[in-house]
Amino acid sequence: MGDAADWIEKNRVTEVECLVPDMNGVLRGKVLPAEKFLKAIDGAALYVPTSALLVCIDGRYSGSIDEGFAYADPDMRVVPDLGSLCLAPAASPPRALVLADACYPADQPWSALPRTLLKSVLALYAEKGWRAVVAPELEFYLTALNPDARDALTPPVGIDGRRENSQHPYDMEALEMFEPVIRRIYDHSAVAGIPVETLTHETGTAQLEINLLHGDPLKLADHAVLFKRIARKAALDGGMHATFMAKPIEGQAGSSMHLHVSLIGGAGENLFADRDGADTPMFRHFIGGLQKHIPEALPLLAPNVNSYRRIRPSLSAPANVEWSHDNRSCGLRLPKGGKEARRVENRLAGADANPYLAIAATLLCGYLGVEERLERSPEALGNAYLATSTLPRTMAQALDRLAACAPVRSLLGEEFFQTFLRVKQQELEAFESVVTAWEREHLLLKA
């Protein structure tokens, strides 16, 4: 506790937000006086009710497959991960943030939670002597404030007093129109210790992309969920929204969370390239696993009904699991670089995905490919948007395929699997009960 106490005193922290990421990556938890937080890490119990971590994206309690457990709503012990302790940006007086794990029983991380799942996947890799390295790229839109959710999103007003109404990919002058928000994002990320590598203007109107510096998967997932919060707050302070919806605006490019993945061996070598720089059998099998199992594990990468509006050919969103060198029409891209940088870029995850689950799913599918010695398909050349898709087209199809995939289900663990499926099925049922504007427009007076 000494280091944490010294850090809190040095930074004059008066409160600590203790945050547990739920199934959708929403940060839930408590704000504690610094003194109480120090007591909690010194052994005093800190709890949240189970129901707080079993919430659908619309805020409804999803319940539990165990009716007695659901009605009892037992407490989960919250255990802060001191390695994630950081300053909260723009907080006065100074406040800290810390990611935490929920335990049930009190000494055992609850296996139904996404952060626990990612830890269990990394443990599988550690048993093999492998260390995964990931680098997320997160796309998001800046939009005008949207007080009525029934209204379509519109671009925000830039510092030139005008709305951006055309596409400006990698346009530096267009990027400068949002300089105040971008500066806040950089400054706030630095305060929270999140290493932002690059920020660019993407294809859509007022669409940006942030690259996080590669590193440990758990730390990068922590950074990604905190970055989303930072970006939303920075945008709101500038009188606009930042949204990580996969497809927020019809006719515009969707927003993805591209995941670059490599594997390192015990001697620090890249396991995806041999001495001569050729792809290793392990790399071929890893890609083969992604090709076979991502179509079954897709809800972990595309977790919302809106996610499937993005996974359509063109507009930079591949709808396939083809692989190729430096070809963005493929769902699995091998970027340029020497043998030390040999990696695969999974381009199928949406920006709306829970980072813990998207990274865990990518690593699980690749792991199964290596274990099953799956061979990858021939390299796709040319326009892979024309390739036949093996991916589900709707959330309903995706959940059915996940439920039927025994290898992925086994590695996820039954408690996580049942909890995830219950949350997502309830969200789907809620969405399917909504009558949309399209239905009123075209069916009201013609059906």
- pLDDT tens for the chain, 447 residues long, are 569 999 999 999 999 999 999 999 999 999 999 999 999 888 888 999 999 999 999 999 987 777 777 778 889 999 999 999 999 999 999 999 999 999 988 789 999 999 999 999 999 999 999 999 999 999 999 999 999 998 999 999 999 999 998 888 888 998 999 999 999 999 999 999 999 989 999 999 999 999 999 999 999 999 999 999 999 999 999 999 999 999 999 999 999 999 999 999 999 999 999 999 999 999 999 999 999 999 999 999 999 999 999 998 766 789 999 999 999 999 999 999 888 999 999 999 999 999 999 999 999 999 999 999 999 999 999 999 998 889 999 999 999 999 999 999 999 999 999 999 999 999 999 999 999 999 999 999 999
Single-letter amino acid, residue 54: L
Please list, in sequence order, all residues whose beta carbon lies within 8 angstroms of the beta carbon of residue 87, skipping any fewer than 6 positions away: 11, 13, 94, 95, 96, 97, 191, 192, 193
What is the CATH superfamily name and number for domain 2-110?
Glutamine synthetase, N-terminal domain (3.10.20.70)
Q: Taking the domains of the chain in order of start, what are their residue ranges?
A: 2-110, 122-393
CA distance 278 to 339: 8
What separation in angstroms does the CA of 103 have from each of 25, 39, 239? 17, 18, 39
Cα 110 from chain centroid (whole Å): 20
HSE, side-chain direction, 13 A CA sphere, residue 290: 32
> What letter would DSSP give residue 277?
S
CATH number for the region 122-393 comes to: 3.30.590.10
How many Å is the Cα radius of gyration of the chain?
Answer: 22
